[in-house]
Amino acid sequence: MFTGIVNDLGDVSEVEVKAEGLRRLTILSGYDPYTIDIGASIACSGVCLTVVGRGRRHNRAFFAVDAAAETLRMTTAEGWRQGTKLNLERALRLGDELGGHLVSGHVDGIAALVARDDALDSAELTLRVPAELSRFIAPKGSVALDGVSLTVNKVDGDTFTVLIIPHTLEVTTLGAAQPGIRLNIEVDLMARYAARLLEAMPQGEKR
């Protein structure tokens, strides 16, 4: 589990095709690689990936992860190339501060950034999501975009807005986000479970 509070920016340094539908990504980061266990989970722009290697290269730390076919199909990882910047977050430990909201790292789909309105040091982003995800997004609810925990401001059909504060613009990839890009989206866990419970209820018990 994660919180959606990004604590490092990584750079993809190598993309290796291991087999059909499987890519190994080497990511440079500021993490001490020897504190990362093989098999540990790291959220990479919102995608929970398993560490399969780590070390130092040219005085920079790196870790390696594998992205399988389903991950490539469901997320923006299919388009990651050398030089792609990624929001990074290591998995929660017991006793860690829950500063954002509970994020699983299981991306639900891809949101399109359709507008950006900058004001002073903040920015309002307007995003469009697939119709099947729009029912999980509500004003004042939580959403994770490229692994960043955000609060929804307004919802209009399949579009919604979020306000990005100066700190988030500075320390995440959202600072450079411009209309036309695609972002990994994970809807709030509670909204997903509530919708599933309603679906499972007999028709006569729904009120």
User: Which residues participate in catalysis according to the annotation?
Assistant: 2, 41, 48, 50, 68, 106, 151
Please give the single-letter amino acid code of residue 151. T
Cα–Cα dist 95/70, whole Å: 32
| DSSP one-letter string for 70-100 | HHHHHSGGGG--TT-EEEEEEPP-TT----S
For 135, which DSSP code?
Answer: T
Cα–Cα dist 150/35, whole Å: 28
C-alpha dihedral over 100, 101, 102, 106, to 10 degrees? Answer: -90
Task: Determine the length of the chain.
Answer: 207
Task: Copy the structure tokens of residue 113.
Answer: 């950034």
Cα–Cα dist 144/7, whole Å: 15
Please give the single-letter amino acid code of residue 88. L
DSSP three-state, residue 199: helix
C-beta separation of 33 from 61 below 8 A: yes
